[in-house]
């Protein structure tokens, strides 16, 4: 997913946003976004991960064309990448599009590098709740990648509305969240990045991981960007017979 019809973010206003980069021809290239949830843990989308690639995470990034002094480039060992066990690579619409990456060293927290907060368990935002997508994804379908971090306001579309026949038509599951659907959307390169929503107490919380958009294009009408829904303080076993996303929480998971 990418940010379509967005704007340059204020520098470091989303300090938990990371750039996931893979090595090709001796250099690292941006492929997806993600969220720093503990000094040594990053959360991204499962579909961003390929076993054949070598990855690094960049925190403290804003303008990829400039060396700003705040960047920390941290390698990720292949054995420290954990994809959700129920993720099906040929079926993004099946859900569970989440992966955790343990960094080879802890990020140094600062004014430009902070941890993302996850929402309380069971919290479901109402229809039209204002949230923001952020990322370095393409500016439009098949368009260029921006150098500066982009943001766009994406109002939440509740699942009942999002599943209407002329919208996503029953594709959206309980462990997903829709946002946008007008002229603003996510696009290629934003995948794995956060859906940032402001809580009543003024804190920003990450309610979703950018997962997929319509095959019709990144800003297709009535096809909101779809995110993996997130909750914190997840139990180690899902014994309450619902379909929300519950995954084992590794040591160091932000709460």
Active-site residues, by number, are 47, 97, 191
Q: Which residues contact 243 (CB under 8 A, 6 or more apart)?
A: 95, 173, 174, 175
The residue among 22, 65, 34 whose CA lies nearest residue 194 is 34
99, exposed or middle or buried, with CB in 10 Å at 0-12, 13-18, 19+? buried
Taking residue 26's Cβ as centre, other Cβ atoms within 10 Å add up to 5
Region of 27 please: left (phi>0), alpha (psi -120 to 50) or beta.
Answer: beta
In order, the DSSP letters of 93-107 are GGS---EEEE-SSPP
């Amino acid at each position: 997913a990418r940010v379509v019809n967005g704007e340059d973010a204020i520098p470091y206003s989303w300090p938990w946003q990371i750039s996931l980069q893979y090595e090709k021809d001796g250099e690292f290239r941006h492929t997806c976004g993600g969220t720093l949830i503990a000094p040594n843990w990053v959360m991204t989308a499962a579909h961003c991960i390929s076993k054949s690639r070598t990855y690094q995470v960049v925190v403290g990034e804003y303008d990829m064309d400039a060396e700003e002094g705040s960047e920390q480039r941290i390698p990720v060992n292949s054995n420290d990448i954990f994809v959700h066990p129920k993720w099906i690579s040929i079926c993004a619409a099946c859900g569970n599009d989440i992966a955790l990456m343990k960094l080879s060293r802890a990020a140094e927290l600062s004014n430009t590098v902070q941890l993302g907060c996850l929402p309380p368990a069971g919290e479901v935002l109402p229809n039209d709740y204002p949230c923001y997508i952020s990322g370095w994804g393409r500016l439009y379908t098949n368009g260029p990648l921006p150098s500066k971090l982009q943001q766009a306001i994406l109002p939440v579309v509740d699942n009942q509305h999002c599943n209407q026949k002329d919208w996503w038509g029953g594709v959206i599951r309980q462990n997903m969240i829709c946002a946008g659907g007008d002229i603003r959307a996510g696009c290629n390169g934003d995948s794995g990045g956060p859906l940032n929503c402001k809580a009543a107490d003024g804190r920003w919380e990450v309610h979703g991981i950018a997962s997929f958009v319509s095959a019709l294009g990144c800003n297709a009408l009535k096809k909101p960007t779809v995110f993996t829904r997130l909750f914190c303080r997840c139990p180690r076993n899902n014994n309450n017979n619902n379909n929300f996303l519950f995954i084992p929480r590794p040591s160091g998971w932000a709460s």
